[in-house]
Amino acid sequence: MSEKLTPETDLTKPVTPVSRQGKTSSRVIEHFVAPLEETPLAAIDNVDETAAPLSLWADAWRNLRRQPLFIISALLIVLVLVVAFVPHLFASVDPTSCTLNDSSEGARAGHPFGFTLQGCDVYSRMIYGTRASLLVGVLTTLGVLVVGGTMGALAGYYGGWIDTVLARLADIFFALPLILGAIVMMQLPAFRDNRSVWTVVITLVIFGWPQIARITRGAVIENRNADFVTASKALGLSRFNALVRHVIPNSLAPIIVVASISLGTFIVAEATLSFLGIGLPDTVMSWGNDIAAAQPQVRNNPGVLLWPAAALSVTVLSFIMLGDALRDALDPKARKR
């Protein structure tokens, strides 16, 4: 059965004008027929049915490998990760040994970006500041995924009063802007006295989880009545196990996309909190702290502010681009054929 089964006529050409009976008009009417989007039967027959179908993830990976946006952002993220883990490979100057002699000096050999007001090397501080900023972003995203993901999955899967309570709870936290909530939180004695990466992470998680909860809830609702869930229940899987083993894995795609984008926004939030003086303590080297410290001198020595800001922006940008690329790859419907 290998003969071609598609019609032989070329459908892109206008069909020859037909003289319609009973009409007196002498106008020639041209009929255009759109080309049929058809896969020849032979092509379908040739598909090897024994081969396992590509999973969503394998398919996405095949698509991602060819996307320049993904490659650029992934390379940048790998670079940032390496810098965060082994900063001494990239900067030979100790960022904490500062001499006031160099206060606000310009660039010179070995110090490409000049010096801060305290005479510290701007480049070296930028490199060593990567770790804290990235740590806050990654830990907050993980925390938000655990809290928001659990809440959203339970609310979407079980519905009913759990859904109502969680939705109202999320509304309360949604109505409070992240920065406002964080300012109030960080004033609490327990937080103010132990300022560290962890307090910032906890604060950002408390006010950042509703977004992931909403996305998870929506994705779970979409999947909870799918045929594969009914099938797994028919095979004797308990309701909860069906959620954990089938619904959640199938709802992961949109959650991962949003998580990747929010990782960037959490890094910005940390910088904003540090900028307001309530984020990381001064002893922790971070981009946000450096930007905040450079702020009074911005009119005389803008470079001190601009370099850490640039590092921050590039990092955030790469996470947003990664999220964008993932969104395209994980949504086969939106992908161009």
Q: How far is CA 202 from the centre of its chain?
A: 20
323 vs 254: CA distance, rounded Å: 10
Q: Would you state the structure tokens that stand for residue 29, as one six-digit string?
A: 């009417």
Q: Which of 36, 175, 234, 235 binds another protein (CB under 8 A)?
A: 175
Q: How far is CA 236 from the centre of its chain?
A: 36
137 vs 267: CA distance, rounded Å: 5
Total residues contacting another protein by CB under 8 A comes to 39
- Min dist. Cβ of residue 321 to another protein (A): 7
- Min dist. Cβ of residue 264 to another protein (A): 7
Tell the residue number behind the tokens 């998680």, with chain if given. 205
**Closest to 126 (Cα-Cα) out of 320, 271, 302, 310:** 310
If one asks whether residue 202 binds another protein (CB under 8 A), the answer comes out as: no
If one asks whether residue 93 binds another protein (CB under 8 A), the answer comes out as: no
132 vs 275: CA distance, rounded Å: 14
Residue list 292-321, contact with another protein (CB under 8 A) = 295, 298-299, 302, 305-306, 309, 312-314, 316-317, 320-321
264 vs 320: CA distance, rounded Å: 6
117 vs 129: CA distance, rounded Å: 17
By C-beta, is 104 or 313 nearer to another protein? Answer: 313
- Min dist. Cβ of residue 311 to another protein (A): 11
By C-beta, is 258 or 312 nearer to another protein? Answer: 312
By C-beta, is 93 or 310 nearer to another protein? Answer: 310
Residue list 254-273, contact with another protein (CB under 8 A) = 264, 268, 271-272
- Min dist. Cβ of residue 268 to another protein (A): 5
**Closest to 309 (Cα-Cα) out of 183, 182, 125:** 125
By C-beta, is 4 or 192 nearer to another protein? Answer: 192
- Min dist. Cβ of residue 288 to another protein (A): 8
Quickly list H helices, 86-177. Answer: 122-158, 160-175
Q: Residue 32: which residues within 8 A CB-CB, separation 6 or more?
A: 14, 15
| Contact criterion met (CB below 8 Å) for 152 and 213 | yes
Of the ranges 14-22, 45-53, 124-132, 174-182, which one interacts with another protein (CB under 8 A)? 174-182
If one asks whether residue 192 binds another protein (CB under 8 A), the answer comes out as: yes
By C-beta, is 215 or 243 nearer to another protein? Answer: 215
Q: Which of 40, 112, 177, 249 binds another protein (CB under 8 A)?
A: 177
Q: Residue 200: which residues within 8 A CB-CB, separation 6 or more?
A: 136, 140, 186, 270, 273, 279, 280
Q: Which residues bind another protein (CB under 8 A)?
A: 168-169, 171-172, 174-177, 179-180, 183-185, 187-189, 192, 264, 268, 271-272, 275-276, 291, 295, 298-299, 302, 305-306, 309, 312-314, 316-317, 320-321, 334
